[in-house]
Amino acid sequence: MIRKVFKKKKPNPKLDAIMKKYKVPRELLTVNRKMVSRAILVGLFIAMIPMPMQMLAVILIAPFFRFNVPIGVSLVWITNPFTMPVIYYVEYLTGNFLLMGKGVCDFEMSMQWITQNLVNIALPLYVGAAFYSLVLSVGGYYLINWLWIISVESAKKKKNQKKN
């Protein structure tokens, strides 16, 4: 179970000093089913939205939803500079499909073309982004919840088998 891995880690005095200095609640680093599931939910949701400073958005949301911040922040790197073009293109295509639009056909990889066609691209892109943000984040939340419960139950079964 993932919890056993984190329990073996010793507290870091530098991290404790930073947390004390900035008054960061210790629970934002807690590793339990609820905190990790919420981190997956928020991290995947923000990761699929095309916007700058996604990590900052996750950190600003943390006090309201209470989740494991390092996991949430690390998930926004799913959309890194290498994967962004592919993910955003698929979101754009999905948005066009959902809006039943024809889309932009004569694509050029230049900033001039993108700024000229931003109005035509923005709505389908964000409709597709909203679709994938909701589907992936909610799906990830329930998947992690389910896997965590199964993991705990199997650990209990193994423990009970050793006793008998």
Q: What is the pLDDT of residue 140?
A: 94
Q: What is the pLDDT of residue 105?
A: 66
Token reading at 2: 């993932």
CB 45 within 8 A of CB 137: yes
What does the radius of gyration of the chain's CA atoms come to, in whole angstroms? 20
Distance CA 115, CA 121 (A): 10
Give tens-digit pLDDT for 1-42. Answer: 555 655 566 667 777 777 777 777 777 777 888 999 999 999
* Separation in Å, CA 27 to CA 69, 144, 164: 9, 19, 37
Q: What is the pLDDT of residue 107?
A: 67
Q: What is the pLDDT of residue 7?
A: 55
pTM: 0.82
| Mean pLDDT score, 44-53 | 93
Give tens-digit pLDDT for 62-87. Answer: 889 889 888 999 999 999 889 888 89
Count how many domains the chain has.
1
Q: What is the pLDDT of residue 116?
A: 82
Domain that holds residue 65: 2-163
CB 73 within 8 A of CB 55: yes
Q: Is 146 helix (H, G, I), strand (E, B) or coil?
A: helix
Average pLDDT, the chain: 85
Q: What is the pLDDT of residue 4?
A: 61
Q: What is the pLDDT of residue 78?
A: 92
Closest CA to 1 of 158, 121, 148: 148
Place of tokens 């592919």: 86
Q: What is the pLDDT of residue 118?
A: 82
Give tens-digit pLDDT for 103-150. Answer: 766 667 677 877 888 888 888 889 999 999 999 999 999 999 998 889
